[in-house]
Structure 1
Amino acid sequence: MFSKIKTCATAKDIWEKLVQICEGSDETKENKLTVAQQKYEAIKMKDGETMADFDERFSAIIIELNSLGKEYSNRELVLKVMRALPREWDVKTMAMRESKDLNKMELHDLFANLKAYEFELET
């Protein structure tokens, strides 16, 4: 890293070079955002995947999107998760849609509810 900034004359030059190295150019950021959005749009819970693993995978995509400046409302995230679940979860998600205010539901509350339901199914 030092070799890339040793020719910089001022602290400002060093800072700008570090930002470019760590974040990339505007074009690179735009490409990263496009890829992250494609991951978000295509995500589905995999066969045999636990809810904890799906939570981890989904959250990683959301963190990546947030770091690139893209944010979604709680409602958008909750509905996205519900749509990404396999058909066997339809009854649970339908019940949650009817009984909960999705505008106020936090993502961690949704996953806690789904993990509890998954645990009930396993016992």
Structure 2
Amino acid sequence: MWHVITDGPIKILKEITVVITTESTPKMVEKHRSEWTTEDKKKANLDNVSKDIIYKTLDKNKFVKIKTCSTTKEIWEKLTQLCEGNDQTKENKLIVAIQKFDNAKMKPGETLTEFDEQFSAIMIELNSLGKDYSNCEIALKVMRVLPGE
């Protein structure tokens, strides 16, 4: 089903056997709906099935933004743009995440578990934006932000 999302709806094709070609690859044309087999119908319906799955997972705000899309591929591209943004947006998100990492400090009265949750969230965000730190860099950062006691 993933190929329907990335490549678009499946076209049901048939090989033309009447035409003689000098090429070694057979000539393909789209089958008329009256010629479809049960398997062809299932393949052709994959776009509708995948749209239905996506529709069921979206909240009303996101659904309103994609309801005019006609294929699953269009929906996926629109959602990707909405959620990830363009290159400038991604760069801005990365800068903000790096600043969070640089400014991370353990607050007075904060437990080690609470700090670990906060710091892990920052690391997950950085990783999802393509920024990786070595274990040594992470360990040094944690050692610097822990209170003396």
TM-score bracket, normalised by the shorter chain, equals: 0.5 to 0.7
1:63-78 → structure 2 map (5 Å cutoff): 63-78=124-139
Q: Give the aligned partner of residue 36 of structure 1.
A: 97
Unaligned runs of 5+ in 2: 1-61
Q: Give the aligned partner of residue 108 of structure 2.
A: 47
**Distance (whole Å) between structure 2 residues aligned to residue 11 and residue 43 of structure 1:** 40
* Seq. identity, %: 69
Root-mean-square deviation (CA, aligned residues, Å) is 1.3
Q: If each structure's strand is expressed as a fraction of its own residues, which one has the higher value?
A: 2
**Distance (whole Å) between structure 2 residues aligned to residue 2 and residue 62 of structure 1:** 30
TM-score by length of 2: 0.55
Q: Give the aligned partner of residue 23 of structure 1.
A: 84
Q: Give the aligned partner of residue 87 of structure 1.
A: 148
- Tell me the alpha carbon deviations over residues 81-101 of structure 1, each in whole angstroms, 9 at most, x when there is no partner: 00111223xxxxxxxxxxxxx
Larger Rg belongs to: 2
Structure 1 residue 49, shift from structure 2 partner: 1.1
Query: What amino acid is the match of 2:71?
Result: T
Unaligned runs of 5+ in 1: 89-123
Q: If each structure's helix is expressed as a fraction of its own residues, which one has the higher value?
A: 1
Count of residue pairs brought into register by the alignment: 88
Report runs of 4+ in structure 1 exceeding 3 Å deviation: none
SS of the equivalent of 1:87 reads coil
Structure 1 residue 26, shift from structure 2 partner: 1.6
